[in-house]
Amino acid sequence: MFFASLRRLRHTTGVRLTLWYCGAFMVSTLAVLSVAYFLLASTLQRKDREAIQLQLQQCLLAYQRGGVAAVENEIATQKNQAGKIVFFVRVADQDRHTLSMTIPSKWERFDLSQLDVEHEGKPQKWMQIPARGEDEVLEVASSRLPDGVLIQVGLSTEEREDVLEDFLGVLAGIVLPVMLVGLGSGAFFAMRALRPLRALTQTLQSILSTGQLTARASVRATGDELEELSALFNRMLDRIEVLIVGMRSALDNVAHDLRTPMTRLRGMAEMALQEHGRGEGAHAALANCIEESDRILAMLNTLMDISEAETGAMRLDLQPVRVREVVAQVVDLYADVAEDKGVTVSLAIPEALCIVADPNRIQQVFANLLDNAIKYTPPHGAVTISGEQHDYQVILTVVDTGMGIAAEDLPRIWDRLYRGDKSRSQRGLGLGLSLVKAVVHAHQGEVTVCSQPGGGAQFSLSFPSVSSS
């Protein structure tokens, strides 16, 4: 159990980020400290070599002044000066016989036989004489005078190696604190960076556990990708909430709207049964049953058409369509209804006006709009259907002189099963405009309405023109 949760923890982004940060922090800190170590080592070596060179110069000058005795004198004077560095100094004749040599007793472990090793017949400018069984070396600089006398000055690396060892000790001592600082700051930054993701997870968990879509992730104004992600996530939740609320209310409306015709259907069937299927009453009841069933079927078919058009599942037989021709057929179909009601319908669409569309669906759209226009226009009113070609669009309008639409109804008339209060006296399912909108959108078009109560209504449809589609 404990190991399982430890393994799970190891795979979390937070722990991975922390370890990556800590690793990067350690590597860069160690790189900086290593560079510091090598700089210190080379500085110490340069300083030692400068001191050796200076001492060599002083010995050469002393020799030129008064021979070996003067050199020994110079060294003796230096020994008495407090704080002066003690050097190894050797004076040898041209046959390599040592004439004088000063060496601190603790440096006797260096292998001095190598002092006479020459390179291409000349003494080497810099020699590294190793100590027996130790790491340090005696660094020696040599110079030969015109009379063949060789002067060698050296200094042990012991002291500078002590300094470097101390420095390494300090480095080793700070590795653990550096690691802890790396881990601590890594964990801190990982926590900060992952805070928006944790908020998203918590929001999702709360939605899953409560089923309430109202929860939202908190968005901090950091201006980064995670802020954008949280904002998008909240916007997605907003959209889902609107869709689900819409679906619920559509479902409620469908249930409510189906209940009345179903109850009526049942009543009529009961009546026919009581009449034992014979007689005029039974005949009328059965005819009503069929009429009511047709109404329910029409409602269900329209609902399915709307959802097919909205989800993109509607099959469209797209082809260039002469709009006037298609709309004229619809006007013909409604000619009797309009005449009965005393409403004049006129068509003002140019012959050549063309769109790419499914002609049957376009007829369905205009049938719904014309049906509404005639239905909601009192006798002696007029309905005009016109069309115009614009740059990239074809605009078609259906204008009537009817009762108009109340401002509070305007945004809702496109909802499934919504019917305006004043329209309830008229026949209708409240699905006509939902279908119009869904079909027009499926044709990449737009539909808008403009109306004032008592001032008629104008429905405008725009479709991409043939050349731009």
Q: Which residues are CB-contacts of 255 (< 8 A; sequence separation ≥ 6)? A: none
Question: Does the footprint of ligand ADP cover residue 272 (CB under 6 A)?
Answer: no
Stretch that binds ligand ADP, among 145-153, 229-237, 357-365, 420-428 (CB under 6 A): 420-428
Confirm or reject binding of residue 428 to ligand ADP (CB under 6 A). yes
Shortest reach from residue 10's CB to ligand ADP, in Å = 59
Position 419 contacts ligand ADP (CB under 6 A): yes
Q: Which of 88, 233, 334, 376 binds ligand ADP (CB under 6 A)?
A: 376
Give yes or no for residue 302 binding ligand ADP (CB under 6 A).
Answer: no
Q: Which is nearer to ligand ADP, 333 or 429 (CB)?
A: 429
Residue in the block written with tokens 């881990």: 183
Confirm if 43 and 49 have CB atoms less than 8 A apart: no
Region of 6-14, 269-277, 424-432, 438-446 interacting with ligand ADP (CB under 6 A): 424-432
Q: Which of 272, 355, 433, 442 binds ligand ADP (CB under 6 A)?
A: 433
| Closest CA relative to residue 296, chosen from 269, 257, 266 | 257
In angstroms, what is the minimal distance from the CB of 435 to ligand ADP?
Answer: 8
CA–CA separation, 126 vs 124, rounded Å?
Answer: 5
Binding mask 448-467 for ligand ADP (x = CB under 6 A): ---------x----------
Nearest-angstrom CA–CA distance, 60 and 54:
10
First CA to last CA distance, the chain: 63
Residues 306, 430, 442, 465: which binds ligand ADP (CB under 6 A)?
A: 430
402 binds ligand ADP (CB under 6 A): yes
Q: 354-357 and 319-322 as β-strands: parallel, antiparallel, unpaired?
A: antiparallel
Question: Candidates 96-104, 127-135, 346-354, 415-423 — which segment interacts with ligand ADP by CB under 6 A?
Answer: 415-423
* Residue number with CB closer to ligand ADP (55 or 434): 434
Q: What are phi and psi of 392, to 5 degrees?
A: -115, 5
- Identified binder of ligand ADP from the candidate list 154, 359, 381, 420, rule CB under 6 A: 420
Number of amino acids touching ligand ADP (CB under 6 A): 23
What's the rounded Cα separation, in Å, for the pair 390 and 467?
11
Query: β-pairing, 126-130 with 122-123?
Result: unpaired
Smallest distance, ligand ADP to C-beta of residue 292, A:
17
Taking the C-alpha atoms of residue 217 and residue 336, their distance in angstroms, rounded to an integer, is 59
Q: Nearest-CA neighbor of 58 among 42, 74, 37?
A: 74
Q: Which stretch binds ligand ADP (CB under 6 A): 98-106, 240-248, 367-375, 460-468?
A: 367-375
Query: Any idea what DSSP says for residue 389?
Result: E
Residues 306-365 contacting ligand ADP, CB under 6 A: none
In this structure, the number of other CB atoms found within 10 A of the CB of residue 1 comes to: 5
* Residue (115 or 343) nearer to ligand ADP, CB: 343
Q: Does the footprint of ligand ADP cover residue 432 (CB under 6 A)? A: yes
Q: Of 196 and 420, which CB lies nearer to ligand ADP in the complex structure? A: 420
Distances (CA, A) of 184 to 180, 181, 192: 6, 5, 12
CB 68 within 8 A of CB 99: yes
- Measured CA to CA, the distance from residue 357 to residue 442 in angstroms comes to 10
The answer to whether 269 contacts ligand ADP (rule: CB under 6 A) is no
- Binding marks (x or -) toward ligand ADP, 32..71, rule CB under 6 A? ----------------------------------------
The answer to the question of residue 381 lying near ligand ADP (CB under 6 A) is no
- The verdict on 405 binding ligand ADP (CB under 6 A) reads yes
Which of 205-235 are b and which e, b meaning 16 or more Cβ less than 10 Å from the residue's Cβ? eebeeeeeeebbbebeeeeeebeeebeebbe
| Per-residue CA distances from 174 to 29, 41, 181, 188, 370 (Å) | 10, 19, 10, 21, 86
Q: In whole angstroms, how close is the CB of 323 to ligand ADP at the nearest point?
A: 20
| Cα–Cα dist 186/14, whole Å | 9
Pairwise CA distance, residues 9 & 23, whole Å = 18
Site for ligand ADP (CB under 6 A): which residue of 183, 193, 429, 466? 429
Q: Which residues bind ligand ADP (CB under 6 A)?
A: 368, 372-373, 376, 400, 402-405, 409, 413, 418-420, 423, 428-434, 457
